[in-house]
Amino acid sequence: MSFQSVIYNTFFKRNATYVTAVLFGAFAFQPSYDTFITRFIENNNKGKLWSDVKAKLGASGEDEDEDDE
Partner 1 sequence: MSYSSIFKKINSSFVTKSCVATVGLTSSFLLYTQTLSADALTAAEHGLHPPKFNWPENGFTQTYDHNSIRRGYQVYREVCASCHSLDRVYWRNLVGVSHTNSEVRDMAAEFEYDDEPDENGNPRKRSGKLADNILGPYPNEQAARAANQGALPPDLSLITRARHGNADYVFALLTGYPEENPAGVVLPPGSNYNPYFPGGAIAMGRVLFDDLVEYEDGTPATTSQMAKDVTEFLTWAADPFQDERKRLGLKTISILSALYFLSIWTKRFKWASLKNRKFVYNPKK
Partner 2 sequence: MVASLTEMLEELKEVFIPTVAKAEEDVEDVEEDEDEEDEDDEDDDEEEGAVSDQYDTLRAQCQETEEGKHLVHHYMECAERVAKAQEDPNYDELEYKEDCVEEFFHLNHYINDCAAPKLFNHLK
In SS3 terms, 50-65 reads as HHHHHHHHHHCCCCCC
Contacts to partner 1 by CB under 8 A: 33-34, 37-38, 40-41, 44-45, 47-50, 52-54, 56-57, 62-65, 67-69
* Per CB under 8 A, 24 contacts partner 2: yes
* Per CB under 8 A, 36 contacts partner 2: yes
Binding partner selected for residue 49 from partner 1, partner 2, none, CB under the kind-specific 5 to 8 Å limit: partner 1
- Which residue, 49, 56, 45, 50, is CA-closest to 68? 50
